């Protein structure tokens, strides 16, 4: 190979080498279009479900619960407006309640001295005992009530007043 031939080969080789290092558009011609995509966003996680609110209270008497067979268990929140009453009633099972806010006055058959139950305090009404709850305050009374009742029976039955005293309003 002649000196001229070697020079041409070296020049072409060098040009090819440099062309491989060139950026798009540096050697003429139109620059290549480069599309850059952002990484996909992380999937959103569902918000954590709300935690149930815990309401606690103390019942100031010994409690004994006994059922003659299976029982239905239910929990609900009851609000008594100022001056409102539950009316005299009995349940085919037990009732346990915690006063969350406000206050209620409770009367039970054979315990006709009114007792006031305030927030953080609880009450227990034994199976079949006629009782009345009344809000004598100026703000709504909110109670969380748990029943343990005979399956299929009516939740409560109205009863005649079991105590003398102010009538149920």
Is 7 part of a structural domain of the chain?
no
Q: pLDDT by residue (tens digit) across 46-71?
A: 777 776 677 787 888 888 887 778 88
Is 144 part of a structural domain of the chain?
yes
When divided into structural domains, the chain yields a total of 1
Q: pLDDT by residue (tens digit) across 115-146?
A: 999 999 999 999 999 999 999 999 999 999 99
Is 4 part of a structural domain of the chain?
no
Is 84 part of a structural domain of the chain?
yes
Is 19 part of a structural domain of the chain?
no
Amino acid 35: pLDDT:
57
* Domain membership of residue 119 as a residue range: 72-158
* DSSP structure class, residue 155: S
Is 141 part of a structural domain of the chain?
yes
Predicted TM-score (pTM) of this structure: 0.64
Is 54 part of a structural domain of the chain?
no
* CA dist list (Å): 163 to 60, 72, 151: 22, 29, 29
């Amino acid at each position: 190979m002649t000196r001229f031939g070697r020079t041409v080969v070296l020049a072409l080789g060098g040009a090819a080498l440099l062309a491989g290092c060139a950026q798009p558009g540096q050697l003429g011609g139109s620059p290549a279009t480069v599309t850059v995509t952002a990484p996909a966003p992380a999937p959103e996680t569902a918000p954590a479900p709300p935690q149930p609110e815990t309401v606690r209270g103390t019942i100031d008497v010994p409690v004994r619960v006994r059922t003659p067979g299976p029982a239905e268990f239910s929990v609900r929140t009851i609000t008594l407006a100022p001056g409102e009453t539950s009316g005299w009633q009995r349940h085919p099972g037990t009732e346990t309640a915690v006063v969350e806010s406000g206050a209620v006055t409770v009367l039970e058959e054979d315990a006709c001295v009114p007792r006031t139950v305030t927030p953080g305090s609880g009450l227990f009404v034994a199976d079949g005992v006629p009782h009345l709850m009344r809000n004598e305050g100026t703000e709504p009374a909110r109670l969380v009530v748990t029943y343990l009742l005979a399956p299929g029976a009516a939740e409560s039955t109205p009863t005649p007043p079991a105590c003398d005293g102010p009538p149920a309003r």
